[in-house]
Structure 1
Amino acid sequence: MNEMDTLSQHSTFINQRDSSVGFAEPRVDPLLQYSIREQLKALTTEKLTDCQRRANLCESMTLAVTTLLQQETADHSVLTKIFQAMYENVLQSMAKAEISQQSLTHEYLSPTGYVMSPLHCRTTIKDIYRLHGFIRGLDRAIKDRLKSDAVVRILYPACGPFAPLVLPLIQYYQSNDLVTEQQVQITLVDVQPGAIQAVKQLVSDLSIQGFIDDIVEADATLYHPEQTFDLLVLEAMQHGFTKEGQLSIAKHLIQFLSVDGVLIPQQISVHGMMVRGEIEFNQQWQDSAFSHSINLRKKAVKDRVELGEIFQINRSSLLALEEVTLPSQVKMVKANRISLPVGIEDMKDRILAVYATLNVYSDESISEYDSGITHPRPDMTFYVDTPPRSAQPEHFLAFSGDDIQFYYQLTGLPGFVALKADSEA
């Protein structure tokens, strides 16, 4: 497969350094340097009083959410400026929290997935269309619940330093007197001490403490609240539904949703397709100002060989999920089976790309390329119709017409494993 051999594999960026505890520490020098630069920029910013700093933060956050809720399709360049301003203001809040360098840059592999450092995951609040889908969806979900419930209880695990899928909306509610703290109560959970420190500072800066029931430093896969919740807001994903512990967290916390509670996103659908990398990842974006589903080129979409859905995650599927434990103690869950099509002349030159789409709530969704979490991820270990030039143990070879069963592994680096259906145990 020529293109397979010329494209580099997506890197495994974490090196195991302490196998005795099962965690891994990445090299943090680049993060340290970036952190120092950001702090220096903050120091040289025009001096503001604390009151001015908080006012700028609240105004920028309210403007961002107002734009998302009132303009379904705002100009991208306008959104970019608005979100950049909000980002710079929340960075000021993070600087105010005086998080230690160690807490700011600490990241590792947990038994269920990669745990990003607070510094690394700070940019989620700049992912415009991720926030567009979640904030619009959450707003509708809250308003729907308030039609029948006096109070809506929200659980937000893996919230990170800014809890970006929830707190901007709460600030908007408060600034416009739309929803009171008696109507919405939020529990924020994160395993990173630095993230907890930052989100506490942000809550204080926004003066929304009354909406916050609790802020808990805990591993979300082990957290046991003493109450049930109406909404479970969870986004711990990376592209291709790999690396982070979205499934493990959801599988554990779904038990704490009320009988009629709602998981947000309501459904994650993971699909596979065989693509020509040059067309899919390069040519179709050469004339686009930004990557987004609205900018997909018809020629590129037509060139794809869609394989169908390989995994689906929603409340029902989570409750029915069955684990398989291998002799090595690795836990797996069975995903979907697909058939590789026949009659595709250039199949041997194509790459498997895996992408997720999210139905956040009602008709609010996040499609392929809309966000970092829905960007298609090439699988450079999956070969069809021709073996790799230099075969490695991780390589998988299949042929047109084969039935492929996908499994999902629940390990420190979660992801999909393919197996020929006729070779299943």
Structure 2
Amino acid sequence: MTVEGTAARKPRRSSKRTSAASATKPRAGAQGAPGTEPQLVQLLTPEGERVTHPDYAIDLGPEELRGLYRDMVLTRRFDAEATALQRQGELGLWASLLGQEAAQIGSGRALRDDDYVFPTYREHGVAWCRGVDPTNLLGMFRGVNHGGWDPNSNNFHLYTIVIGSQTLHATGYAMGVAKDGADSAVIAYFGDGASSQGDVAEAFTFSAVYNAPVVFFCQNNQWAISEPTEKQTRVPLYQRAQGYGFPGVRVDGNDVLACLAVTRWALERARRGEGPTLVEAFTYRMGAHTTSDDPTRYRMDDERAAWEAKDPILRLRALLEKEGHADAAFFEELESESEILGKRVREAVRAMPDPDDLAMFDHTYADGHALVDEERAQFAAYQASFADSEGN
């Protein structure tokens, strides 16, 4: 399913209201001064009501809405299965996206095939949109490979563990795209915690100066492990963009329609040669930072409960049911599909072969390196010493 184009535009219903929380699209010098009320673009309320916006209008047909819902449900099911597998000892670690499905699916479905994605380690929904097999995401977390997929097959780079560094990779790639004269765009994902990294600041600087066709997509999930957003910045994150000379916009990160519309606008802007954009998806990390984290030690239950009422999947389901775009059979079929996906993921992880002990030396350098060759030989001799001991 792709949500590249919009459906035939239909007359707006008079019953639809304009969201008071919405804001106009940011223009040069119009992003708001520090200390002003943060702007928020929203097209679907937590209650599942459609709202309009003068600059980010989007009109999707029933099939496209069902497709977005299916994407979010299956992504959440995959994520839940991966979390369970880690708890069972099948994975060494897992970074859950629970609660961030709308930000990832909305932005992921805004991409064209020739656009290029630079993710962190939590963009499982974006990977789904790019056609990366979910089971390929798990090899690194099981410790059997360094990634598990060819980045150029889906224009989806390998997961990046080093916080914020992928923004520089994306900026350099985007500068190359511009020099090649291509009309594709690049998107870099990072979190609110990563926004404090020097790499992100450098990426903002270079992308602005060189007018790089890149979208910086910050998923502000309120917590950088145990550090709240208010300890990362004195102003809303999207307002940082104006200091670098490009637009910033805050979107309801639990609203898949708004995330799709805003990201599509930012990507089209990049393709037209108008430079970078910062999109802050205002969302919430419902689970732990990773499976090694215990969020109950630093945040209150009532905070999570408040965000559960804004669940991205439930609000789109409410819209589908309210407008008659999906029936009980659709939801039942999707539930069965999600269980099949969960079973496939379980079986695939447990069937992953252990890597060759010497494989970690194979791709350190493209053309080989004398020091790596020496280390490989030393490690091989070390491994062989155990075999000799057993033989004796």
- TM-score (norm. length: structure 2): 0.31
Greater strand content: 1
Greater helix content: 2
**Structure with more contact order per residue of length (Cα contacts < 8 Å, sep ≥ 6):** 2
